Chain A
Amino acid sequence: MKNYPFTAIVGQDKMKKALILNGINPKIGGVLIQGEKGTAKSTAVRALADVLTNTSVVNLPVSATEDRVVGTLDMEHILKTGEKKLEPGILAKADKNILYVDEVNLLEDHLVDILLDTAAMGVNRIEREGVSYEHPSRFVLVGTMNPEEGSLRPQLLDRFGLCVDVESEKNVEERMEVVRRRLNFEQNQEQFETKYEQDQNQLTYQIQHAKELLPAVEVNDHLLRAVADLSIELGIESHRADITVIIAAQTLAAWKQRTEVQLEDIYEAAELALPHRLLQDPLKENTSGQKLTELLNHKVVDNQ
C-alpha cells in the first residue's frame, strides 16, 4: 500500500508547514498536531517521509510494551550461544527518524516517562535485566491528538517544539475536492502518484536546498530582542520557547531561500512555537491562544 502524496493534501497549510520545517531541521523538536478526527493528520505525517531523504516514520503505538520501546535481551541469541545480546527497540529504530505517536494524549504513563527521558538526552539508556547499554536516539517527535479525549501531561507538552491546531474543512467545495482526490488515489494509486510526482520532487528538492542553506542563516541581535520581548509580553516562563522560536525562524528563512532571518519569520515561527506554551494553566479558560494571535497581528501591523 502506498502513501498518499504529501503534496496532494488539500489545505491544512499550517500543519504542512510545521511538518516541513521539522523535516528541514530536526532541532526544532517535533510538532504536536491537535485536532478533530479525519483531518488528514496521520496521512500528512506518513506522507512526510516520502519527501524527506533518508528518513522514515517510526510508529509508537500508545499501548506498546516497555520491552518493545527501549529494547530487551535477545532471548534467541542468549539461549543458543549463552551470550548476552541486546535486541534494539523502537527508540533505536527512531534514531535520526520521525517518531510518530498517534493519540499521544493516550500514551501510557510509563511510556511517557521513557519518552521524556530519551528526548531530553537524545540517548536511550537501558539499565535492566543485567544489561547496561546506551545508544543515541535523536528523533523528531510528531504527535497527534484529539483534545476532547483527554489532555496531555505538561512535561510532555513542552517537549514538542511546535504545535498546530487543525480543523475539519467547512467549505463544501474544498471537502469535495478532498474526496475527489482520495477517490482517485484509491482507484489507481500508481496513476495518482505519477500525477503528483513532479510536485513531490519539487518539494523534496526545496527541502534539501533549505537544509543546505540552513547553517548559513543568520539572526541579528535586534531580532533576538524581539523574541525575548514577545515571550515576556506573553508571560511565557520557558526559555525553550525562545530558543524554539529562533530555530524555527531560521528554518523558515532557509525554506524561503534567504540567509537572513527577518521579523516576519519570527512572528510566523512564534505562531507555531508558542501556542501550547501559553497554556501553562490547564484550568484557565482558553483565551491565551487568541491573545497570541492578536498580539502577533498587532506586531505585524506595527512593523509595516
Chain B
Amino acid sequence: MKCLIGQAKAKRGIAAALINPYLDRVCIAGARGTGKTTLLQMVLSYFSKEDAVIIPSHITTEKLLGEKEIALFSQNIGKPNNQSILHQAKVVITDQFALMPENNQRLVVQLLKNKGMSFYQDFHYPATSKWFYCLDQEMQDTSLLKHAKLCVRLIPVLEVSEREDILVSRGNPEQEYTKEELKKAKDRLSSVQIPEKMLQLAVEVVIRSGCKNQEADMDLIETARSLAALDSDQSVQPKHIEEAAGYALTHRMGEQQESTNPENSEQQVNEESSMNSSEDTSHSHPSSGNEENPLDYDGQDQEASGDSIPNEAPQDNPIITEVSEEEVDQVIASLKMQSDFLFSKQHTYPSSGNGKHREGTSAGGNGRMLRAVQRPAEAISLYHTLTAAAPYMKVRIPPEGMKLAIEKEDIRYKLKEKQQGFTILFLVDASRSIAAKKNMRVIKGAIMELFQQAYQKRDRIGMVTFRKTESEEVLSFTNKFAEAKRKLGEIPTGGKTPLAAGLEKALKLCEKEKRANKQGMPYLVILTDGNANETLKPGGTAAQARSEAYQTAKRIAQEQLPVTVIDTQSGRNAFGLAEELAAVIEGEYLSLDTLTDKNIAKAVQSRLHPLEGRR
C-alpha cells in the first residue's frame, strides 16, 4: 500500500469513499503514468478476491447482463449460472473505462446506478458494490467524468513537493490508511453530526459552483462526513466541506462547462460565464418553493447565497455561526482552480473530442443479428447450431444428460450488425458568387430540409464552407440538430471561391470519418456553382484554381465516395461548371433550377436510402 508516494489527497479521497457506502462511484483521473492503476490496486487490497470484479474494456454485453451458461459447455451439470458478472460484487474496477465501447459504458453505468432494480427474471443488480474507474486525463471524454460521485485526481510528481506543502499547512500530514483505521473510521461515520450551517454551506457551494446536478448536494455532504470521520471529528467542519468540494464538485463543474459550450476549448473564460448563467437561472426562478419556506428569509435564492443569514443560528458549531459570502467565495475560488486543472489537458488536444472509440464491425456484441456464420463471433446462435447438427443426430451418441449430440464443428455464431445512420458532409460554397441573397436562402432552405430528414433517419451531419482564401469546418459530425441549425444561420458569405481548398478539406474529413467509423461510408453533398477562382495558395489565377479543384475532385473520385453536386447557378447564365465538376468527381448532378428545396432533400435521400433496405 505504501507503493504510492505522495498523492495524499487522492488517497484521502479514496479512503473517504471506502468508508461511506453512499459514495459508490469513484473516478480516478490523472495523466498517463501518474499511478492510477497503482491506486486501483490499493483499493483492491482492501477487498477480498471474491468480492472484487475487474471489468476489462473488451467485455461483452452478454457478460454484463448475465448470460446462461449452457450445460453443453460446462462439465458441472448443476446450477447454471446466469448472473451478471456484477452480481454480488463488492467492488467493481474498470481500469480503462474510456476504451470500452460506448454502449457498454452506458450499460455499466446504468447497472451500477440503478441498483436493486430487477429487470430479468431473478436477476438483481449488485446491491452494495462500489465502482472505481480510471480516466486518462489526456484522452478523457469529459462526459465520462459525470458518472462519478467522487473524483480524485492524481497530480504529476513534479508538483508533489508543492502540493505537500499545501497539505501540511492544512494540518493533514500525509498518511496511509490501514484496514483497521478505515474500519474504525467507518464505525465513527454514523455518529458524525452535520450542523445545519454546514448543510447550508454545502448547498450554497453547489449552487454557486454552477453545478446543475442536484445530486451533488448529497455527495458533497456525504464526502464531508466521511472526511470528518477520517479526522475523528464529531461534526462536519467548514474545512471538510471545502475539501470535499474538491472531490465531489470539480468534475461536475466541467460538466457544466461542457454543456454550456461543448466544443469550446477556452474553458477558463467559459467558467466565468457558466457561473453567471447559473446565477441568472436562479434569478429567473426567484419564487420557486417560497411558500413552503419555513425560515422566511425573503425566499430570494440569490440573496441567500449572497448575504449572510443572521436569523438562523443553530448552536451546534461554535467555530462558525453563519455562512458568509466570503466563505462560499473562498471555496468556489479554490474549486475553480481545481476544476481548471482537471480539464486543462484538453487544451492541447482540441481535436480529440469525438469519435475516439467507436464500435467496430461486430457492433460490440450488440445489435441485430444478420445471419449465422462459422467464424467465431461473440454469441452463439443455438438455433443454427442445432440445425447444422441435425443431420448427424442418428449417427452420434449424445453425452450423458443430453438429448442431443453436438460437435464443435456444428457451432454457428451470430453475425450482428448495428443499425446506424449515414454520415453526410455538406460542402457549402459561401463565396461572393453564391452570396446573392436569394441563392443563399434557397441553399440554406435545402440544407435545412436535409437536416430535418437526417434527423428523422438518425444520420449524422457535418458541414464545411469555403470562401475568401480558405475552407472552414463549421460543424464537425454530429447529430445535435439544434446546433447544426444555429451554425447554418451564422455562415458568413462573400469573397473569392477557393473550391480546391473546400474539396481538400471535405476529402480529409471523409477519410478521417471512414477510418474512425468503418461501417458507414460518408456521403458528400457539394453545393456550388462549380466556379473556382482562388488557388490553395492564395493569389493564383482562375485557371490554376480550376485545375487544382479538378485534381482534388479526381482524388475524391478515386476514394469512391458517393457524391452529389448541387448546382447553385441559376438557369440562364449557367456555365455548366458544376456539371463538369460532378463528372470529374464521378458523382450525381442536380440543379437548383429544377429543384425546390424539398425536392433536393428528396433527391439526396432517395440516393441514400435505397441502401436502407440493407441495414
Residues of A within 8 A of B (CB): 1, 3, 11, 36-40, 42, 46, 56-66, 68, 73, 75-76, 78-82, 89-90, 93, 100, 102-103, 106, 108-110, 113, 128-130, 148-151, 153-154, 167-176, 178-180, 182-183, 186-187, 281-283
Residues of B within 8 A of A (CB): 21-22, 61-62, 65, 68, 70-72, 80, 103-104, 106-107, 110-111, 113-121, 127-128, 143, 146, 190, 194, 196, 199-200, 202-204, 206-207, 212-218, 221-222, 259, 281-282, 285, 288-290, 292-295, 299, 301, 304-305, 365-369, 381-384, 386-387, 401-404, 406, 418-420, 448, 451-452, 455-456, 458, 479-482, 485
The closest CB in chain B to the CB of A109 belongs to: B419
Q: Which of these, A39, A80, A93, contacts B120 with CB under 8 Å?
A: A93
A65 adjacent to B480 (CB under 8 Å): no
How many Å lie between the Cα of A79 and that of B204 in the bound state? 61
A61 adjacent to B190 (CB under 8 Å): no
Q: Which of these, B119, B259, B382, contacts A148 with CB under 8 Å?
A: B259
Q: Which of these, B22, B206, B418, B480, contacts A186 with CB under 8 Å?
A: B22
How many Å lie between the Cα of A204 and that of B293 in the bound state? 27
How many Å lie between the Cα of A10 and that of B207 in the bound state? 17
Q: Which of these, B203, B259, B365, B482, contacts A175 with CB under 8 Å?
A: B203
How many Å lie between the Cα of A64 and that of B121 in the bound state? 14
8 of the cross-chain contacts (CB-CB < 8 Å) are A79-B403, A89-B120, A108-B366, A148-B259, A151-B482, A168-B212, A183-B221, A186-B222
Q: Known contacts A65-B62, A180-B199; decide if A57 and B117 are in contact (CB<8 Å).
A: yes
Other than the known A59-B114, A90-B119, A187-B190, what 15 A-B pairs have Cβ atoms closer than 8 Å?
A36-B213, A59-B119, A63-B366, A78-B386, A80-B71, A89-B120, A93-B121, A151-B455, A174-B293, A175-B214, A176-B199, A178-B217, A179-B217, A281-B452, A283-B452
The closest CB in chain A to the CB of B20 belongs to: A186
Inter-chain contacts of B402 with A (CB < 8 A): 79-80
The closest CB in chain A to the CB of B217 belongs to: A179
A63 adjacent to B104 (CB under 8 Å): yes
A79 adjacent to B455 (CB under 8 Å): no
How many Å lie between the Cα of A108 and that of B115 in the bound state? 21
Inter-chain contacts of B127 with A (CB < 8 A): 1
* Closest Cβ–Cβ distance, residue B612 to chain A (whole Å): 13
B290 adjacent to A171 (CB under 8 Å): yes
B106 adjacent to A173 (CB under 8 Å): no
A37 adjacent to B213 (CB under 8 Å): yes
B110 adjacent to A103 (CB under 8 Å): yes
Inter-chain contacts of B384 with A (CB < 8 A): 129
The closest CB in chain B to the CB of A40 belongs to: B214
The closest CB in chain B to the CB of A113 belongs to: B419
Q: Which of these, A40, A61, A66, A173, contacts B107 with CB under 8 Å?
A: A61
* Closest Cβ–Cβ distance, residue A86 to chain B (whole Å): 12
How many Å lie between the Cα of A46 and that of B406 in the bound state? 44
How many Å lie between the Cα of A76 and that of B70 in the bound state? 6
Q: Which of these, B61, B117, B381, B479, contacts A46 with CB under 8 Å?
A: B117
**A-B interface, 8 closest residue pairs, ranked by CB to CB distance from nearest:** A38-B215, A129-B383, A38-B213, A63-B103, A38-B214, A168-B214, A59-B119, A82-B403
The closest CB in chain B to the CB of A62 belongs to: B106
Q: Known contacts A81-B403, A176-B200; decide if A129 and B381 are in contact (CB<8 Å).
A: yes
A183 adjacent to B204 (CB under 8 Å): no
Inter-chain contacts of A102 with B (CB < 8 A): 110, 113-114
The closest CB in chain A to the CB of B484 belongs to: A283
Q: Known contacts A58-B119, A151-B481, A179-B199; decide if A64 and B65 are in contact (CB<8 Å).
A: yes
How many Å lie between the Cα of A42 and that of B113 in the bound state? 10
Inter-chain contacts of A62 with B (CB < 8 A): 103, 106-107, 110
* Closest Cβ–Cβ distance, residue A287 to chain B (whole Å): 13
How many Å lie between the Cα of A80 and that of B294 in the bound state? 67
Inter-chain contacts of B71 with A (CB < 8 A): 76, 79-80
Q: Which of these, A58, A73, A81, A174, contacts B383 with CB under 8 Å?
A: A73
Inter-chain contacts of A173 with B (CB < 8 A): 289, 293-295, 304
* Closest Cβ–Cβ distance, residue B103 to chain A (whole Å): 4
B382 adjacent to A73 (CB under 8 Å): yes
* Closest Cβ–Cβ distance, residue A143 to chain B (whole Å): 13
B217 adjacent to A76 (CB under 8 Å): no
A93 adjacent to B107 (CB under 8 Å): no
Q: Known contacts A60-B119, A65-B366; decide if A171 and B458 are in contact (CB<8 Å).
A: no
The closest CB in chain A to the CB of B147 belongs to: A37
Inter-chain contacts of B304 with A (CB < 8 A): 172-173
Q: Which of these, B110, B369, B448, B452, contacts A66 with CB under 8 Å?
A: B369
Inter-chain contacts of B382 with A (CB < 8 A): 73, 75, 78, 129
B455 adjacent to A283 (CB under 8 Å): yes
Inter-chain contacts of A56 with B (CB < 8 A): 118
Inter-chain contacts of A90 with B (CB < 8 A): 119-120
Inter-chain contacts of A110 with B (CB < 8 A): 367-368, 418-419
How many Å lie between the Cα of A230 and that of B83 in the bound state? 51
How many Å lie between the Cα of A89 and that of B113 in the bound state? 22
The closest CB in chain B to the CB of A66 belongs to: B368
Q: Which of A60, A113, A173, A175 has the most CB of B within 10 A?
A: A173
The closest CB in chain A to the CB of B386 belongs to: A78
Inter-chain contacts of A130 with B (CB < 8 A): 383, 387
Inter-chain contacts of A68 with B (CB < 8 A): 65, 120
A174 adjacent to B111 (CB under 8 Å): no
Inter-chain contacts of A109 with B (CB < 8 A): 418-420, 458
How many Å lie between the Cα of A89 and that of B121 in the bound state? 8
A63 adjacent to B289 (CB under 8 Å): no
The closest CB in chain A to the CB of B101 belongs to: A63
How many Å lie between the Cα of A150 and that of B292 in the bound state? 35
Q: Which of these, A58, A61, A76, A100, contacts B65 with CB under 8 Å?
A: A61
Inter-chain contacts of B214 with A (CB < 8 A): 36-40, 168-169, 175, 178
B80 adjacent to A76 (CB under 8 Å): yes
Q: Which of these, A66, A82, A106, A282, contacts B481 with CB under 8 Å?
A: A282
Q: Known contacts A76-B70, A173-B295; decide if A150 and B479 are in contact (CB<8 Å).
A: yes
A169 adjacent to B458 (CB under 8 Å): no
Q: Known contacts A75-B68, A103-B110, A108-B103; decide if A80 and B403 are in contact (CB<8 Å).
A: yes
Inter-chain contacts of B259 with A (CB < 8 A): 148
The closest CB in chain A to the CB of B212 belongs to: A36
The closest CB in chain A to the CB of B488 belongs to: A283
Inter-chain contacts of B387 with A (CB < 8 A): 130
Inter-chain contacts of A174 with B (CB < 8 A): 288-289, 292-293
How many Å lie between the Cα of A129 and that of B480 in the bound state? 37
How many Å lie between the Cα of A103 and that of B282 in the bound state? 26
A150 adjacent to B451 (CB under 8 Å): no
B217 adjacent to A175 (CB under 8 Å): yes
* Closest Cβ–Cβ distance, residue B123 to chain A (whole Å): 10
Inter-chain contacts of B448 with A (CB < 8 A): 283
Inter-chain contacts of A73 with B (CB < 8 A): 382-383
How many Å lie between the Cα of A148 and that of B383 in the bound state? 42
B119 adjacent to A282 (CB under 8 Å): no
Inter-chain contacts of A3 with B (CB < 8 A): 116
A154 adjacent to B22 (CB under 8 Å): no
Q: Which of these, A40, A170, A183, contacts B207 with CB under 8 Å?
A: A170
Inter-chain contacts of B217 with A (CB < 8 A): 175, 178-179
Q: Known contacts A82-B404, A150-B480; decide if A103 and B106 are in contact (CB<8 Å).
A: yes
Q: Which of A58, A175, A183 has the most CB of B within 10 A?
A: A175
Inter-chain contacts of A65 with B (CB < 8 A): 61-62, 65, 365-366
Q: Which of these, A11, A42, A100, A172, contacts B301 with CB under 8 Å?
A: A172
A172 adjacent to B70 (CB under 8 Å): no
Q: Which of these, A151, A175, A183, A281, contacts B194 with CB under 8 Å?
A: A183
B381 adjacent to A171 (CB under 8 Å): no
The closest CB in chain B to the CB of A61 belongs to: B110
How many Å lie between the Cα of A11 and that of B291 in the bound state? 12
* Closest Cβ–Cβ distance, residue A117 to chain B (whole Å): 13
Q: Which of these, A66, A80, A183, A282, contacts B482 with CB under 8 Å?
A: A282
